[in-house]
Chain A
Amino acid sequence: MSALHLPRLVFSGDFQADVSTVNNDVRHYDTATFEPRFQQPASGATRNGWWNPSGSGAFRLIGCAVRSVASRRPASPGDEDPVATCSVSGSSSSVSGKLVDLDPQWQMASEIWGLTIRLADARGGTVLEGTFEPAPFRDIHFGRQSPATPNGQAASAVYTSRLTAVRSHLPPGRSPFLDDLLAASDDGTLAVRLTTFGYSTNPRDPRFTLGRVVGALGPARRGEPHRFVLGRRLAPAANGVTAANLTFADAVVDPEAGLVSLDLGNALPITDPVGTTAAIGPLALAVLRTPDRPDGAPGVREGDVVPLGDLLVLGRIDHSSPGWLSRTAGIVDLALDEPAAALAADRPLALVRPVGNEAQVLLRETAGGLLARADDVVLRVDARSDGAVAATVRFCAARWGRPLTAATIRTRLEPRMSGLGGGPRDDPDPPAAPIPDIGVPQEAVELPPSLATDDDGRAELPLTVHDPGRPRGYLDGQVYVIAYSLDGQAREQQHRFDVVVLHVREAYAAPALPTWVDDVRPVLVQYGDLYPIMSRRLVDLGDYDAVREHAAIIDLAFSRPLDDPNHMPVTRELSDARREMLLTWLRDRNGYGERRLRHGPRPSAAAPAAPAPRAASDSAAAPPDDGRGAGDVDEIGGKAVALPQALEQLLRAAGRDD
């Protein structure tokens, strides 16, 4: 089951991602060379703290509303169901969710943390709520929107996850749709999918930090992958996009419901931040009658023009009608009768458009109907000094939507990569710190070279993680990328960022009595640098007196669970061992119950490592004068993706054919 299955609820509206951009450049983590201007907005080509240095990290659903509900029942309740008029928002009683990168050197899997998704009636009363299980975006489509004005950001991406601890506030019988949906799901969970696009990185735009979100809730069953749809996958033949700028799309075939459901929420090009579909002509979903070849080569290729007789057309796509994406979340249900279901059981699905009396294949299912994806995409691992740490990555493989048994998934630890997470090369005044390499030492992560899927098409990749030390110098631990591929499938059929990424935090032995100078300040001053919204408006984390004054709230925030929206640091990158050190320091009390907050330095310690306190940053920020946001080769989608050579490296590595 998935958010593509019925019963399904579709919603859309805006989201706000008030991300901080000071941490977009890894070099800003170096406290020794940090400059106050890194907390200021970009000025011309000088990036400083990029386009939103005062971001709070908040992720909010704003003005979202249910657009449709669809049930399996013959007389579908449709618009009369009370759920059909609900708004969709975040928690009614806690702080906003957060959008978080794993690491400044891996910004291609930003995760939503601490988000509640809540359906509410016209008076604001909660109808249904659940907790969004943290998940990263996938299938990012960088050039989806053209032109990228006025928002300045052309990218689009998909979050696939679960809602957990789902609670309905309606008595049974009140909403037949909700009753059906909850009955179709296990363990109080629901499948959820959010597609986000139209994001504005332009400070002059009234919609700055806002974008559009279209989403769906559907049934979820235990044992299914959480972070991708295990079904049919349409994939561009090469480079992640087709000639018409279409990208990956997921579909599910549900013979029981007599339906094929195709999610085009992320796949079609758009012309504005509202999501108006580009003029790509009439589209239909079809089954290609020509089978793919036994050797795995496609029988019909993307771009081919074929006679109509070679297709079984399932139905037209209504993508050019006004507001289509917002109304439908891009999810299309088409009837699948028995002959069609039989054909689709081992023939590719394809998006086609008419060309005279023939049809051109614009986007088609992966060759041989193959699909293999990792369900655990982003891992945070705390290394230990006294031994290795184990971690597991779960995979699922399918062929034509059915479990693929005894398949081989090859895995490889990517080699050293340079230049990730730095700023654009045209910056006339870049930060002074060097950009660390990632992926080294290689010995820190051990993994088998391949896995075999079981009878259910599943496989688990066991990772053995050793302490990498501090190879990056000014920031903790190391980032490792694991690429994977399914034997018999060309790597181009996978999204280029369909990789597993680890942030391994270095082993750390806390002193029994931590001090501010020796232990605490080196950790906190970095957050003070990177989050000026904290240091200027709430607590300057680099200042002992300010930390003393606000010790109670810091204690609270740093001790909240990782999935609590109040958790600090927002970036969720602090290792447990360092967190414990910090809390030990905060909680050490004297005989009167007062916090000691030892200042230090420890007498026995060598010269303190902490640099001299710097002058606080000027709070009078110059207005940003560069609203272009994106468009720079090195700053894709308003993020520091990678310098080209590192990206090339990854793509080369990923494109290997072994």
Chain B
Amino acid sequence: MLAVDRTLVSGVRDAAGRVDLHRFVQLAIELEHSTVPPYLTAYYTLRPGTNEGIAAAVRGVAVEEMLHLTIAANLLVALGGRPRIAAPGFVPDYPTVLPMNVGHSVVVGLAPYSRELVRDVFMRIEEPELPLHLPGGSADRAADPEFATIGEFYAALRDKLTELGDAAFVGDPTRQVVDRDWFPPDQLFPIRDVATAVTALELVAEEGEGTSSSPLDREGEPAHYYRFAELVHGRRLVTDPSVPQGFSYTGAAVPFDPDGVWPMPPDPRLETHPPGSRSRFVAERFTDCYTRLLQALQLTFDGARAGLRPALGLMFELRLLAQDALATPDADGRPTGLCFRYCPALRTTQGHAPVLGGPAVTPAER
């Protein structure tokens, strides 16, 4: 369970008006985003053509986290604020404790996919306040009264918005970011008032944690926590009338082929690759693309007419560049890691003194 600093919850409760909420909603944007690089790293390190069931599951969760980021950003815009995305410090310096997280902290890094990663990190990020005991499932941890939960944080936000009423929604309604091609209108819709804000925040909580009575979200999909549990157990979650909970991890197998994972060194850094090396080059291209993605999102929430489209195009380029990097061996023969950083002034090392000789590096599977 992601323990949240209780002062954040009390801060939301004590907010005197919409402007007081801006920094908390910005924190929510940062929290939702902070899970994207770890999930995408796990997804990208699954070699194309292998582990397809797992890849689809991890990708699906990552996409929903991007949806949640969008929802939180829409809420901030609706409250008259400006999301700060293309900004120093927006991308955490992994490994890190996630934004808002205190106490029983979960240290989150960028690592290749493994069952241990899912069990020890991803499931802890997504763990509900009171996980349902499902046959084959993990034991829950007792909630610590010293700390709040992310669920409580969002609940406090919903309560405060209800208290402030529709008058708090002063943002320009035309600036709300929606895109029906990518997110159905029941998941991504304009936030214009208390009702739409509450619905949106409930969706964020449910997709992550499920509801208190069901592991499924409102679309009937397992919430993130239970989807990750499927990967740990290697079985799909299915309805199971033979057990009192009504669900068990006894569905179709979700096979895992460890050979289908790029063994990327965890928490990679650009600086570890020698200037002029191929690995430095491909790592920089990835970082550059991620930076462009954040800048595209910034323009989107600043009102650019193209909406989410530029960012979507960049997601595809990012995936190609991720495969380029991972297929390029570093100086130690390991896959070049994926450096999720915000570097708007990336000064490439290839520029003025190209290496004319240097070690022979042959991309294994470009």
Query: Shortest beta-carbon distance, A255 to chain B, in Å?
Result: 36
Docked complex: B308-366 residues within 8 A CB-CB of A: 309-310, 312-314, 316-317, 319-320, 323, 343-352, 354-366
Does residue B241 face the partner (Cβ distance < 8 Å to A)? no
Contact in complex: A62, B351 (CB < 8 Å) = yes
Query: Shortest beta-carbon distance, B315 to chain A, in Å?
Result: 9
Docked complex: A109-124 residues within 8 A CB-CB of B: 120-124
Docked complex: A527-557 residues within 8 A CB-CB of B: 533, 536-538, 552-553, 555-557
Contact in complex: A14, B48 (CB < 8 Å) = no
Contact in complex: A553, B296 (CB < 8 Å) = no
**Tier of interface size on chain B:** 35 or more
- Consensus secondary structure, chain B interface: loop
Contact in complex: B357, A150 (CB < 8 Å) = yes
Docked complex: B217-272 residues within 8 A CB-CB of A: none
Residues of A with C-beta under 8 A to B360: 204
Contact pick for B292, options A94, A122, A123, CB 8 Å: A94
Contact in complex: B319, A537 (CB < 8 Å) = yes
A210 to B295, CA, bound (A): 25
Does residue A347 face the partner (Cβ distance < 8 Å to B)? no
A73 to B359, CA, bound (A): 48
Query: Shortest beta-carbon distance, B273 to chain A, in Å?
Result: 11
Contact in complex: A204, B362 (CB < 8 Å) = yes
Does residue A92 face the partner (Cβ distance < 8 Å to B)? yes
Contact pick for A619, options B278, B295, B365, CB 8 Å: B365
Contact pick for B320, options A93, A210, A533, CB 8 Å: A533
Docked complex: A83-127 residues within 8 A CB-CB of B: 87, 91-96, 120-125
Chain B residue with Cβ nearest A120: B345
Docked complex: A158-217 residues within 8 A CB-CB of B: 198, 203-208, 210, 212
Docked complex: A204-258 residues within 8 A CB-CB of B: 204-208, 210, 212
Q: Which of A295-303, A429-437, A620-628 forms contacts with chain B?
A: A620-628
Contact in complex: B313, A566 (CB < 8 Å) = yes
Query: Shortest beta-carbon distance, B281 to chain A, in Å?
Result: 7
Residues of B with C-beta under 8 A to A26: none
Given that A14-B348, A62-B350, A537-B48 are contacting pairs, would A552 and B313 also be in contact in the complex, using a CB cutoff of 8 Å?
A: no
Chain A residue with Cβ nearest B343: A124
Query: Shortest beta-carbon distance, B338 to chain A, in Å?
Result: 15
Chain A residue with Cβ nearest B56: A549
Chain B residue with Cβ nearest A323: B352
Contact in complex: A150, B356 (CB < 8 Å) = yes
Does residue B299 face the partner (Cβ distance < 8 Å to A)? yes
Does residue A468 face the partner (Cβ distance < 8 Å to B)? no
Contact in complex: B347, A63 (CB < 8 Å) = yes
Residues of A with C-beta under 8 A to B354: 14, 198, 207, 210, 212, 273-274
Q: How many residues of A contact B (CB 8 A)?
A: 55
Residues of A with C-beta under 8 A to B348: 14, 62-63
Contact in complex: B362, A94 (CB < 8 Å) = no
Residues of A with C-beta under 8 A to B320: 56, 533, 537-538
Chain B residue with Cβ nearest A326: B352
Does residue A565 face the partner (Cβ distance < 8 Å to B)? yes
Contact in complex: B366, A92 (CB < 8 Å) = no
> Which of A93, A94, A95, A125 has the most chain B CB within a 10 Å cutoff?
A93
Residues of B with C-beta under 8 A to A124: 343-346
12 A-B pairs whose Cβ atoms sit less than 8 Å apart in the complex: A54-B365, A56-B320, A62-B350, A63-B347, A92-B344, A95-B310, A123-B345, A198-B354, A206-B277, A207-B355, A537-B323, A566-B309
Given that A54-B366, A150-B356, A272-B356 are contacting pairs, would A552 and B345 also be in contact in the complex, using a CB cutoff of 8 Å?
A: no
A56 to B322, CA, bound (A): 13
Residues of A with C-beta under 8 A to B186: none
Contact pick for B366, options A63, A538, A621, CB 8 Å: A621
Does residue A143 face the partner (Cβ distance < 8 Å to B)? no
Residues of A with C-beta under 8 A to B310: 93-95, 566
Residues of B with C-beta under 8 A to A203: 362-363, 366
Chain A residue with Cβ nearest B184: A593
Query: Shortest beta-carbon distance, B274 to chain A, in Å?
Result: 10
The 8 lowest CB-CB distance pairs between A and B, nearest first, are A63-B351, A124-B344, A124-B345, A63-B348, A566-B313, A93-B296, A54-B366, A93-B295
Chain B residue with Cβ nearest A124: B344
A621 to B319, CA, bound (A): 19
Query: Shortest beta-carbon distance, B44 to chain A, in Å?
Result: 10
Residues of A with C-beta under 8 A to B343: 124
Contact in complex: A206, B313 (CB < 8 Å) = no
Residues of B with C-beta under 8 A to A123: 344-345
- Interface of A with B (CB < 8 Å)? 13-14, 16, 52, 54, 56, 58, 60, 62-65, 87, 91-96, 120-125, 150, 198, 203-208, 210, 212, 272-274, 326, 533, 536-538, 552-553, 555-557, 565-566, 619-621, 623-624
Query: Shortest beta-carbon distance, B354 to chain A, in Å?
Result: 6
Does residue B119 face the partner (Cβ distance < 8 Å to A)? no
Residues of B with C-beta under 8 A to A13: 351-352
Query: Shortest beta-carbon distance, A65 to chain B, in Å?
Result: 7
Contact in complex: A274, B356 (CB < 8 Å) = yes
Contact pick for B49, options A14, A210, A536, CB 8 Å: A536
Contact in complex: B292, A621 (CB < 8 Å) = no
A566 to B363, CA, bound (A): 26
Does residue B47 face the partner (Cβ distance < 8 Å to A)? yes
Query: Shortest beta-carbon distance, B195 to chain A, in Å?
Result: 24
Contact in complex: A553, B312 (CB < 8 Å) = yes
Contact in complex: A95, B309 (CB < 8 Å) = no
Query: Shortest beta-carbon distance, A196 to chain B, in Å?
Result: 14
Contact in complex: B365, A94 (CB < 8 Å) = no
Given that A537-B323, A619-B48 are contacting pairs, would A94 and B350 also be in contact in the complex, using a CB cutoff of 8 Å?
A: no
Residues of B with C-beta under 8 A to A63: 347-352
Contact in complex: A64, B295 (CB < 8 Å) = no
Residues of A with C-beta under 8 A to B357: 150
Contact in complex: A536, B48 (CB < 8 Å) = yes
Given that A63-B350, A123-B345, A536-B49 are contacting pairs, would A206 and B355 also be in contact in the complex, using a CB cutoff of 8 Å?
A: yes
Query: Shortest beta-carbon distance, B179 to chain A, in Å?
Result: 9
Contact in complex: A565, B313 (CB < 8 Å) = yes
A117 to B302, CA, bound (A): 22
Contact in complex: B356, A556 (CB < 8 Å) = no
Contact pick for A65, options B313, B350, B351, CB 8 Å: B351
Contact pick for A93, options B278, B299, B319, B355, CB 8 Å: B299
A536 to B52, CA, bound (A): 12
A64 to B347, CA, bound (A): 9
Chain A residue with Cβ nearest B349: A63
> Which of B295, B296, B351 has the most chain A CB within a 10 Å cutoff?
B351
Query: Shortest beta-carbon distance, B127 to chain A, in Å?
Result: 30
Query: Shortest beta-carbon distance, A408 to chain B, in Å?
Result: 47
A545 to B293, CA, bound (A): 28
Contact in complex: B312, A92 (CB < 8 Å) = no
Residues of A with C-beta under 8 A to B80: none
Chain A residue with Cβ nearest B345: A124
A274 to B364, CA, bound (A): 27
Chain B residue with Cβ nearest A123: B345
